[in-house]
Each structure stands twice: as C-alpha cells, then as structure tokens.
Structure 1
C-alpha cells in the first residue's frame, strides 16, 4: 500500500512562510521563461559580459576584505588582552550605523581633489599629488563596502571564537600544533559556520547594493537593472537581470550548504564557555590598540566628523518640523519590521529541526534569497501580487457587504512590511540559526520523551537559549530597515516619507551638504540599536562568566 505524506502543522507553517517569501522571487524568475525584447538582445551581446565581470570582481573583493578584516579583528579581540580591548570589543560594530551610500559619498568628498586629504598633502608637498588614486574607482568602492560590511563577519566570528573556550587550543597544543597552526587547523574550522553566515550577508548585501555603486559610477547588475527600468522602460529586461542575481545567490547558498554538509559544532561543556585572552604588554598591546582605532576611525570616526562639519554649515537653513515626522516614520517601520521578522525567522529556523527532510533545507535556503534582490525589483515583485489581492478583496467586500473601504492593502504600510519581510529575512535568520546550531539535538529528544509538545519545547527550551541571537537579529533588522531606501521609496503610502527617502531626494539632485541633516539624524538614531547590540554582547559575556563560576563551584 502506497503511503501518502500529510504535512503537520509546523511543516505547513514553514511551507506557508516560504511560499509568501518566494512569491515575489517567483515573479522575477518567471521572466527567465519569457523571450527578451530588443533591449535585452543588445544588452546580452554588448554589456552583459562587462556586468558579470564587474559584479564578480566587486563581490570577490568585498568578501576578501570583509573576511580578512572581520575574522582578523574578531580573533585578535577574542585571543588577546590589550589597552581598550573591552571597548573595542563592541565599538567595532559602530559602522553598522552608517548607511553604505552615505559612507560612500562622504569618503568620495574626503578623498576628492578638493577634499581635506589631498588638500593636506598639497600643503605638505607644495602641489596636488599626481600619484593619488581616484576615489571613484573599483578599489575605492571595495574600500567603502569593506568598511561597511565587515561588522557582519566580526560580530558573528567574535562570538564563535569566544564560545570555543580554552580546551580546543589546549588539545591542539598537546598534539604539537604551534599557535598559528592551531588557529588555522582547529579554531578557524570550528568557527566556520558563523563566519560563513557573516560572509553570506556581506556577499548578498554587495550583490543587491544600488546606492553606493551608482555614486561611484561602477556598473553592476543593479545599475543595469535601474537603467533598463527607468531609462529604457523595459521591465522585462530589468526582471531578467534580477533573475540572474537570484541564481547567483542561490549558487552561493548551495555551495556553502555543500561544504557544511554533516559539519555541525555544538557546545558540549558549560564550564569551558569563555576563552581567556592572552595579555599583551608594552608596545605590542598599544600597537594592537592602534590597529583597532585606525579601522574604527576609517569606518566611523572620520566620516561622522565630516558629516557633522557639513551639518554645522546647513543646520540653520535645513531644520524644520518635517524632519521629526520623517524620523518617527523611520523608527516605526524599523521596530514593526523587527517584530515581524524576529517571529518569522525563529519559526523558519526551528521548523527544520522537527522534520529532517532535505527539501525543507532547500525551502529555507530559497526563503532567505530575497536579500540578493535589488530593492526596487523586489518592490515590484511584492507590489504586483498584493495589489491583485487588494482588488479581489475590494470586489468581494463591495459585492457581499455594504462597506466600501477606502484602503485595504494598497496605499498602506502593509506592502512596505511585506517587502521588508522578503528583503531582510536572511538578516534575521542568520543570527538566529547560528544560535540554534549551538543547541544540541538531544535536548529536543529529551524534552519530547518527557511529554513536551513542539511548541512547548520552542517556548521553554529554545527561546531562552536563543534570547541573545533573537535580540541581535531584531536589532540588525532595525538598523537595516532604517537605512533601506529603494523599497521604502517605491512602496510607501503617498506622502509617507522617511529619512532615507529625504537623503535620496537631496543626493539625486547633487545637494550633498543639504543631505547632511537627514544623514546625521539617521546615523545618530542608528547608534541606539548599535549600542543595544553592544549591551547584548556584554550581557552574553557576563552570563557566560557567571555560568563558568557556578560550574566550578
């Protein structure tokens, strides 16, 4: 007798989440099946090769830079004690507060011919240096994106290194490994799932970025999509280019799943939770402090000072009451999206533990691909089906009732939040999934043997252990949503502006100095969730220290 598989409630929930999230992606991928128009034929023959080369070159460069900077700084702050370590341990994520496009146009002005750097060199050398590189180049773009995205890798890698404890290094030394070899052979492989999560976020952020690459005049798939859509009014060509980005991201996800196959690392000893850093004395400790201070100055300090310099020149003429309303809209969307995405990502990370089917892992991978879609294309992918649903609901309501609603879905923040759900689910999922990997499967099995339901296991066992990962995910979502520009610009209700929309309006007209006010407000507001991220990390560290002390007692 042939058995039929009937999905349970959790499997049905996972399928429903994935169906909702992948619907806009399916709308985009559907255009691969359609014949291209004349503009697509011209682009594929003359432009596509250059776009692929530029996109691959930029992505590999940013991934290399974020891996080197993020992993290197994370290991140094986890393994060594030096002056200022307690502060640098969390201050290094301050670049999170800067929107990448703001960081880009600020650094262009700093390094430009008329900027302060070349002006200082001219004063010292007597003339403008001819050897100074062009800041608006591929190298300058990689520099800015590395400074903007390395906190993804740093934050996750630092937590992984600190959670490994001393025992792994001690075992490696027993087998005769030098400290350097122990790092590459033992420590780094054990931290690879968390490092890979950070690199995936940085890579997808690079693939989907539009604002920064357009400021640097560096053609990638995203700039080509915008030109096809708004310059040539060819939505078909834009969607076909976007589908290639989706396939590229799927390839990255499948490649990482392949290398992580059957490799899971669980924390097996509570008493060995924290790594004891090695104290550096003298010039070595101060040199390390100088390294961290330099990176932090480049990614946060210098750009903030330059932005505040612009702000001082324009504040008296720019500040008006509208800015407080735009700030309120920005915070409202950030917190509402964090709540929605925190719940959804937790369910998405928990459901595959209940049913270990390979196809469920594929659904999760597909559901987190929206991060690679350009915001504007994703906005259209969400907008089309939801407006269709809005029309059907309106027809049904007016036919069967006497109520004639003014708005249902279209013209509300529902479309904005739906697009955020697709766009930022990977951002919320990765920290929660990284925390979920530390929970041993036998804990679930033991709870089931005691009669706990699956919902009770999630509520009473997983959520307390996922507390820091869940809070980290929500805070990162708040930061990213406040900085997001294309989705908000295209799907917001009429007249419902945010700080990011105001920045776009001013920078698109070349008013960089006037954009300093909304940019400064956005950066300073973003410092609040960044500070909370620091607090979460410090609390996690204190909890670990208390647990170690309790275990030793």
Structure 2
C-alpha cells in the first residue's frame, strides 16, 4: 500500500486525487530539473573517460601542475580575502552603530553587480605601466621605466584582488543574516564572564554563524574556479583557461573534457568536505524568548575606523570602477547608443530575463515537490539540483557542447547518407 499523510487520509477523495495529481506533476518537473543539472556532469565524465589521452599527457608533462598550483593559490587568496571583508563588514553593520551604517548595509552589496573581468579592465587601465598612476609617478619623480618598482596588476595577486572585491558580498549577505538571527544571551554571558567584545565575537558569535559563513565562502570558491575572463585577461593560467585552450587552441574536445572532469572533481570535493565538516550545525536563531543582541554604539576613533573599513570595499569595488569606466566612456570615440551596442544590451536583457524566469520556475518546482512529498526522493532531487551551482561554467559548457556536437555530427552524416 502507498503511504499517505494524515492530511490526505482525512481529506475528501476529490481533493486527494487532485493533490496526488499535483504531486505527480511537481515530481516530474522536479526530477526533470535535477536530470538537466546532472546531464553536463555525466557528459563530461563520459567524454573524458572515452576520449584519447594525448592532449592530457602533453598537459601533464608541461603545464598541468602549474594549472593546479595556480588554481589552488587563487582559491586560497580569494577565500581569505572574502572571509575577512565579508564577516568583518557584516559584524560592523549588524552589531554596531556608527554614522552611515544604514547606508553601508545596502552599499556593501553593490560590488556584486560588477563582473570581475570588468573590474580588471578598469584597474588595468589605471594601474598598468601606461596608466595614469604610473605615468603621473614618473612625471613627478623624473624616474625612468626601470628606476622604480610598482605592483604588477596582471598577476595572480591582482586577479585575486579583483575577485575578492566583487565576491565578498556573498559572504557578507549570509554572515549578516546569521548575525541578525543570533540570540544575544550567549554573547552577553561571555561578556559577563570577563571576555572583551572581540573575544566574545571570536569565541561565541563567529562559531554560531559558521554554517552561513562557510556557505558564503564556498560560493566564492565556486565562482573563483569557474572564472575565465579575469584570469585570461591577466594572463593567469588556471584550470579554466586550460579547458578553453584545449578546446579552441588545440581543437581537442576529449582533452577539454578531461580537464573539466578534474575541475568538476575538485568542486564537488569542496562541497562534500564543507558539508561533512559542518555536520549537523545550523543557524542559531533568536526565538521569541531570546532577544536579539543589542548593537553597540561606536564613538570617536572606533566610529571613524568602522566607517573607513566599510567604505573601503565599497569605494574599491564599486565607486572607483564606476568613475574609471565613465571616464573611459567619455574618452572613447565609439557611439554608445549605436545599433551595435543596443543589440548587445538587448541580448543581455533577454538572456538575463530568460535565465531568471527559468531559475525561479525550477526552484518553485523543487520547493513544492519537497513540500508535497517530503522524503528521500524529494531531498535527493533537491540535492542533485544544488550540485549544479558547484559545477563551473566551463564544465557546463563542455558537458553540453560535447553531446550536442556529437548529435549534430551524427545527424549531418545521416542526412548526407540519405
């Protein structure tokens, strides 16, 4: 016999039939979404395991070790940077009060609107050797090109800074939500036991917010390993650039699939490690009987320091790039309202609208399936769908293009033969 819930047992037969048919519809749609999310991973694995190994052997002998080390180094730098800025800013705007704190609550999210490669383009225009900063430095000091040292923007560190400036809002948003939901009892108890504000934050508030913070850092890691535009523009060789090099420069789809499989394995391993180390940890929410933590009023140098710490990532990640890009646009001879740029705008809006609609519809299907039929099947479908975000964009591209290209070639051969 099929088990039914208590609500279904006492519901009228007509309502039960309607609920079952609705559940079946949402079950079909939810599993369709899950299969669509896992299709690129399966395609990448099959293409990697069935393809030749000549390209990969060449990459192993030459640049694969460099790809791995550079990718790990970039992930480490971005993780540390986004963790520090995101958690620090979230704590300041949530648990303290200083002039402009309400404005910073919103402004700290603004850098998320910039793609990292756009930020890289803007800062390269200013900080590179022909840029205004180094040009002004040489004019003021009279130095030649070899008479001084200046940080190289086109480097691993430069790419990490660009990614940190646009990705820290992931950590900030999740950490702020966790801090807002925390009960003030544990923090105040730590203060009563003689801990100062920093010690209470480090020993009590930060561990309670760990699940949210870990999720935010994991999102930044996924974005980092999937990034191609920034690292390619700066000449940093990562797994993402290796995938595109194998596909387009060497014309080897199997080699690109094998590199994509390595990147996919790394991304999934990160997701599994984060989930296993977190265990059953959950957000510590402030219920009705637990008052939220009262914010502390900052004055004097503490207020000024908090203002500077919150303003710095907003200025570097949003305001300064906007000014640079606006100035570049004024100096350009291209007409920004030409049909070419309007077509770019139309394509961007169309893609964004379609992607948003499909994403919301897929999430609704998965959510309703879990609500109507809670259990292992609905949880599995939701978990498979969530894995889609752990897959870098380059892996998805390879996973979709390999089977569709094979189908296109097979269809073309069949039509030519008939």
Q: Give the shorter-chain TM-score range.
A: 0.7 to 0.9
- CA pair 391-56 structure 1, distance change in 2 beyond 3 A: closer
Q: For 1:321-332, list aligned pairs within 5 A.
A: 321-332=339-350
* Deviation of 1:12 (Å): 5.4
Aligned 8 A contact 1:246 1:369 in 2: no
* Deviation of 1:170 (Å): 2.1
- CA pair 315-351 structure 1, distance change in 2 beyond 3 A: farther
* Deviation of 1:350 (Å): 6.3
* Deviation of 1:355 (Å): 3.8
In the alignment, is residue 242 of structure 1 matched against residue 287 of structure 2? no
Larger C-alpha radius of gyration, 1 or 2? Answer: 2
CA distance in 2 between partners of 1:391 and 1:131 (Å): 54
Pick aligned residue for 2:77 from 56, 61, 85: 61
| Aligned position for 1:320 | 338
TM-score normalised by structure 2 residue count: 0.83
- Could you list the per-position Cα deviations for residues 448-480 of structure 1 after superposition, in whole angstroms to 9, with x for gaps in the alignment? xxxxxxxxxxxxxxxxxxxxxxxxxxxxxxxxx
- CA pair 316-51 structure 1, distance change in 2 beyond 3 A: closer
| Unaligned runs of at least 5 residues, structure 1 | 394-553
In the alignment, is residue 144 of structure 1 matched against residue 162 of structure 2? yes
| Aligned position for 1:290 | 308
CA distance in 2 between partners of 1:317 and 1:282 (Å): 49
Pick aligned residue for 1:120 from 125, 130, 136: 136
CA distance in 2 between partners of 1:204 and 1:273 (Å): 36
- Could you list the per-position Cα deviations for residues 325-368 of structure 1 after superposition, in whole angstroms to 9, with x for gaps in the alignment? 432332232123212212323444565675454x8656544433
* Deviation of 1:121 (Å): 3.0
Aligned 8 A contact 1:208 1:372 in 2: no
* Deviation of 1:107 (Å): 1.1
In the alignment, is residue 74 of structure 1 matched against residue 103 of structure 2? no
Pick aligned residue for 2:48 from 24, 28, 32: 32
* Deviation of 1:268 (Å): 5.0
- Could you list the per-position Cα deviations for residues 422-449 of structure 1 after superposition, in whole angstroms to 9, with x for gaps in the alignment? xxxxxxxxxxxxxxxxxxxxxxxxxxxx
* Deviation of 1:192 (Å): 1.6
Which piece of structure 1 moves more, 61-70 or 41-50?
41-50
| Aligned position for 2:226 | 208
| Aligned position for 1:83 | 99
* Deviation of 1:392 (Å): 12
* Deviation of 1:210 (Å): 0.5
Please state whether the residue corresponding to 2:285 is helix, strand or coil: coil
CA distance in 1 between partners of 2:244 and 2:304 (Å): 47
CA distance in 2 between partners of 1:195 and 1:156 (Å): 6
In the alignment, is residue 178 of structure 1 matched against residue 196 of structure 2? yes
- CA pair 76-386 structure 1, distance change in 2 beyond 3 A: same
- CA pair 253-372 structure 1, distance change in 2 beyond 3 A: closer
CA distance in 1 between partners of 2:335 and 2:353 (Å): 31
CA distance in 1 between partners of 2:404 and 2:334 (Å): 42
Aligned 8 A contact 1:172 1:182 in 2: yes
Pick aligned residue for 2:287 from 250, 269, 273: 269
CA distance in 1 between partners of 2:158 and 2:77 (Å): 11
- CA pair 104-82 structure 1, distance change in 2 beyond 3 A: same
Please state whether the residue corresponding to 2:151 is helix, strand or coil: coil
Larger relative contact order (C-alpha < 8 A, sep ≥ 6)?
Answer: 2
CA distance in 2 between partners of 1:350 and 1:392 (Å): 39
Please state whether the residue corresponding to 1:368 is helix, strand or coil: helix
CA distance in 1 between partners of 2:250 and 2:405 (Å): 24
Which piece of structure 1 moves more, 110-119 or 338-347?
338-347
- Could you list the per-position Cα deviations for residues 53-96 of structure 1 after superposition, in whole angstroms to 9, with x for gaps in the alignment? 11111111111111111111111111111111111111011111
CA distance in 1 between partners of 2:248 and 2:369 (Å): 41
Please state whether the residue corresponding to 2:55 is helix, strand or coil: helix
- Aligned Cα root-mean-square deviation (Å): 3.0
| Unaligned runs of at least 5 residues, structure 2 | 4-22, 412-418
TM-score normalised by structure 1 residue count: 0.64
| Aligned position for 1:109 | 125
- CA pair 254-365 structure 1, distance change in 2 beyond 3 A: farther
Q: For 1:311-390, list aligned pairs within 5 A.
A: 311-314=329-332, 317-348=335-366, 351=369, 355-357=374-376, 364-383=382-401
Please state whether the residue corresponding to 1:131 is helix, strand or coil: coil
CA distance in 1 between partners of 2:47 and 2:404 (Å): 18
Aligned 8 A contact 2:178 2:284 in 1: no
Aligned 8 A contact 2:181 2:284 in 1: no
CA distance in 2 between partners of 1:266 and 1:389 (Å): 50
